[in-house]
Amino acid sequence: MADHTDDVVFVEEPPRPESFVKKGLPYIKAEGATWVSKAILYIFGGTVALVLLSGFTVIIVGVNLRGSLSGTDALNPQTLVKEAILPFTQGVATFASTVFGPLLAFILGYYFAEKSKEDRPGS
């Protein structure tokens, strides 16, 4: 019986990407902060888009329904903008700033507090 150990070729493991290398707690915190900030951004954008889309849908359907029920054409564009669209968009802006303003302030405050801790000498 022949010994075939000379036929075996060992291949070095290819280097793993940097994302797979364990980098410690500061890296994990930075990745977590990035994930949270992206999630908040997507939630904010999705919420505003959903509210705007549903609101404009209700306005358009309501105007067309009102016109068809009364037997007249839909409202003229100036009245529609003045009585429906402007108050609605002002309401959405108030909602968005009320809900997401304090949250954004909290996150930015936390970020800059952590950043100033890192920048201080001797910390």
Residue 23 inside a domain? The answer is no
Are the CB atoms for 44 and 92 separated by under 8 Å?
Answer: no
Domain of 100, in residue numbers: 74-123
CB atoms within 10 A of CB 88: 16
Residues in CB range of 73: below 8 A, 6 or more apart = 67
CA distance 66 to 70: 6
CA distance 111 to 121: 18
What tens-digit pLDDT sequence spans the chain (123 residues)?
555 555 656 566 655 555 555 566 666 777 777 788 788 888 888 988 999 999 989 888 877 776 665 655 556 777 778 888 899 999 999 988 898 888 888 877 777 777 677 666 655
Distance of CA 18 to the CA centre of its chain: 26
Q: What angle do CA 19, 22, 23 make, to 5 degrees?
A: 90
Are the CB atoms for 94 and 123 separated by under 8 Å?
Answer: no
Residue 78 inside a domain? The answer is yes
The total number of structural domains in the chain stands at: 1
Residue 66 inside a domain? The answer is no
